[in-house]
Amino acid sequence: MNKKLLFSLLALLGTVVGIKAQRNELGIRLGMSNLVGDIGKTNYILQQPLDLDRVSDWGVPFYGGVLYRFNFNPHQTVRLDLGYNQVQFSDKAAKEEYRRNRNSFGKNNVYEASLVFEYNFFPVNNEQMGMLSPYIFGGVGGLMFDSPKATLNHDFKRNADGVALAPIDELDFTTTTEYSLGKKTVVHIPFGLGLKYKFNHGWGIFAEATFRYAITDQLDHSKILEKDVVSHYNADIISPTTGGSLLQTGNYFAVSKEREAEFINKRALGDLQSKDWMNTFSIGLTYSFGRPPCYCD
């Protein structure tokens, strides 16, 4: 009895795996992404892809990704995307004169994962030698990117030997800035359209335009958040009341906080309420493994 039950379970598992296998699709794709934000051009499509003056340092911007499709039926698909974007942005290419005069620039490394629903207008996922179909899609995902951080070092003036000088007033200290990058993750909303051509039963090629609305204004490093700014205080001159740095007491501390707020305000570029977009144009190749699709009730 146990052997019969085990055989039945294995047979059922094999049937389920077979049904799923015939609907699975794996693929790779390559392309180029661009940012639409507070630095650089604001074209959602047909952007100048790179700053030619910095190719030797930054290389060429590109997008590379892998995808998995589960085809529910010949028209409807759920897709998982994993990708890497190297994006570049430069005011030199902007049409606005104030941006060109500002001449800010930069690059970012953006990793993405998204889950989208895809609808094909024709039954391209059915069993046939070849078929062409446009499709649309939309979903939700996450972006992990390089985010700007800053350390403000507050220090009293020093003599030639490097010894901190006794302060004369509350403004008698300097503040220097050190920049760094950290990883940050945010939500994004991907959507777009494409054209898929399936040939020779299992193989397919596609071209796609993907638009991503990112819930952040930091992909182009145009803003630094208050929580990403840390202040360090010189400890050579000690406060007699607290035993800590004199710069963390009274008017000295108040001035340091004013400088911190001024730094954050001056560091921000463009519209502080806007969000960034990252858009990709790519081509890809997919393979449907297992038996040819057979969508049965």
Residue 272 CB coordination number (10 Å): 11
Yes or no: say if 173 and 157 are a contact pair by the CB < 8 Å rule: yes
Q: Which CATH number fits domain 23-288: 2.40.160.20, 1.10.3720.10, 3.50.50.60, 1.20.58.410?
A: 2.40.160.20
Distances from the Cα of 228 to the Cα of 224, 279, 281, angstroms:
7, 26, 32
* Radius of gyration of the chain measured on its C-alpha atoms: 28
226 has pLDDT over 50: yes
Distances from the Cα of 45 to the Cα of 152, 156, 168, 281, angstroms:
39, 51, 57, 9
Yes or no: say if 33 and 87 are a contact pair by the CB < 8 Å rule: yes
pLDDT in tens, 183-216: 999 999 999 999 999 887 789 999 999 999 999 9
Q: Which of 287, 146, 172, 153 has its CA nearest to residue 230?
A: 153
Residue 33 CB coordination number (10 Å): 25
pTM of the model: 0.82
DSSP per-residue codes, the chain? -HHHHHHHHHHHHHHHHHHHHTTEEEEEEEEEEEEESSSS---SSS-----GGGHHHH---EEEEEEEEEESSSSEEEEEEEEEEEEEEEGGG-SSHHHHHH--EEEEEEEEEEEEEEEESS-TTSSSSEEEEEEEEEEEEEEEEEEEEEEEEEEE-B-TTSPBPPPSSTT-EEEEEEEEEEEEEEEEEEEEEEEEEEETTTEEEEEEEEEEEES-S-TTS----GGGEEEEE--SSB-TTTSSBGGGSHHHHHHHHHHHHHHHHHH--S-TT---EEEEEEEEEEEE-SSPP----
pLDDT in tens, 265-285: 999 988 878 899 999 999 999
111 has pLDDT over 60: yes
Phi first, then psi: what are they for 151, rounded to 5°? -120, 125
Yes or no: say if 247 and 253 are a contact pair by the CB < 8 Å rule: yes
**pLDDT given at position 163:** 84
The domain spans of the chain are 23-288
**Residues making up the chain, counted from first to last:** 297
**pLDDT given at position 272:** 77
Structure tokens that stand for 142 in this block: 């996450």
Q: What is the C-alpha to C-alpha distance for residues 225 and 200, in angstroms, rounded to an integer? A: 52
pLDDT in tens, 65-101: 999 999 988 899 999 999 999 998 888 878 888 888 8
Q: Which of 52, 80, 66, 42 has its CA nearest to residue 222?
A: 42
pLDDT in tens, 33-45: 989 988 888 777 7
